[in-house]
Amino acid sequence: MPLYSVKMRASLDGTHISGAERIVDAADVSDVCAAMSRRALAHPKGCPDTVNVTVREVDPDAIVRVPFLPWDAAECADEAEARETVLGYIRACTPHAEAAWDLVTSVRNMRGAVLFDAATGERLEPDQARGVRVTNMDAVRIADDDHAVAERTPAKDRVTEARVLAAKVAHHPAVLAEVCISDDPDYTTGYVSTKDIGYVRIPNMKPLGSEIGGRVFIVDAEQLEGLITYLEETPVLVGGDE
Ligand code: WAQ
Ligand code: MG
């Protein structure tokens, strides 16, 4: 049975509001399209004036399968504690950890992620306004899970989608760590992830109501070859073995 990539992108006056994507069986395509459109129109960042839903066939032989990162949660009472916690994790992979934190807490309205050179602290993404957008990924559906494919709740979706993205990103040899803050003003939990520590949820990464939000991938520039193509194009299915 062919698999299809389904992607949604919503914007208002040309500014990105929300996005989502799945990789699903042909039989689930129409339900997933409907669920994504509903979700686009009910986003806390505002009502979009444009919603794009794209359906594209995926070559099953091109699919890479990776496990979920193990996950954990830190306890941070406020932004200062969140900063110290994240720095504690990423100092092991870059001498420019503070600069990486400053970046992830200052960017906004990027569609993709910053590529941050671990050795120099320089930004490596070709388009700094947009960043590098990771696409073509989903969680493997557990066969005996009767939770309908299309009807994941938004709350469940957010964490699952973040864990899927983090797993895809961490799998590449060039990626040493990722730091993420949601761009939703009412969602203040972010995460830091690495191959070694896994996915660690970080509460209170930004003040409630803040419109900052972004992702920084801390990378080894010497292993960069193929990274952007992998992040943007390689279809990845996460999980299924646990
Ligand atoms: N590829 C690269 N960067 C992205 C992508 C993508 N596919 N999607 C979003 N970003 C960047 C972009 O700069 C956004 O502004 C920023 O990340 C945040 O995106 O366990 O909701 O979709 O509770 O708002 C973390 C969940 C949720 C933590 C993260 O991110 C938890 C979230 P958002
Ligand atoms: Mg968001």
What local confidence, expressed as pLDDT, does residue 232 receive?
96
Instruction: Give 19 Cα–ligand 1 centroid separation in angstroms.
Output: 9
Q: C-alpha 106: how far from its chain's center?
A: 17
The pLDDT tens digits for 174-194 are 999 999 999 989 999 999 999
- Quote the pLDDT of residue 47: 92
Low-confidence ranges of the chain (pLDDT < 70): 141-156, 241-242
Alpha-carbon radius of gyration of the chain: 17
Sheet holding 15-25, edge to edge: 15-25, 3-12, 50-58
- Identify whether the C-beta of residue 132 lies closer than 8 Å to the C-beta of residue 113: yes
**59, 164 Cβ separation under 8 angstroms:** no
Cα of 1 to ligand 2 centre, how many Å? 32
Nearest ligand to the CA atom of 169: 1
Which of ligand 1's atoms lies nearest the C-alpha of 108? 15
| 95 Cα–ligand 1 center, Å | 24
pLDDT at 240: 80
Question: For the segment 215-233, what is each residue's pLDDT rounded down to a tens digit?
Answer: 999 999 999 999 999 999 9
pLDDT at 152: 53
Distance 235 CA to ligand 2 centre (A): 22
Question: What pLDDT score was predicted for residue 111?
Answer: 86
Tell me, what's the pLDDT at 144? 41
Which residues on neighbouring strands pair with residue 219, listed in sequence order? Answer: 117, 175
From the CA of 73, give the closest atom in ligand 1: 20
For ligand 1, is residue 193 a contact (CB within 6 Å)? no
Per DSSP, the chain holds a count of helices (H) and strands (E) of 5, 12
User: What pLDDT was estimated at residue 154?
Assistant: 54
Q: How far apart are CA 200 and CA 74, in angstroms?
A: 7
DSSP string, 206-218: S-TT----EEEEE
Amino acid symbol at 158: R
* The pLDDT of residue 155: 55
Query: Is residue 184 in contact with ligand 1, taking CB distance under 6 Å?
Result: yes
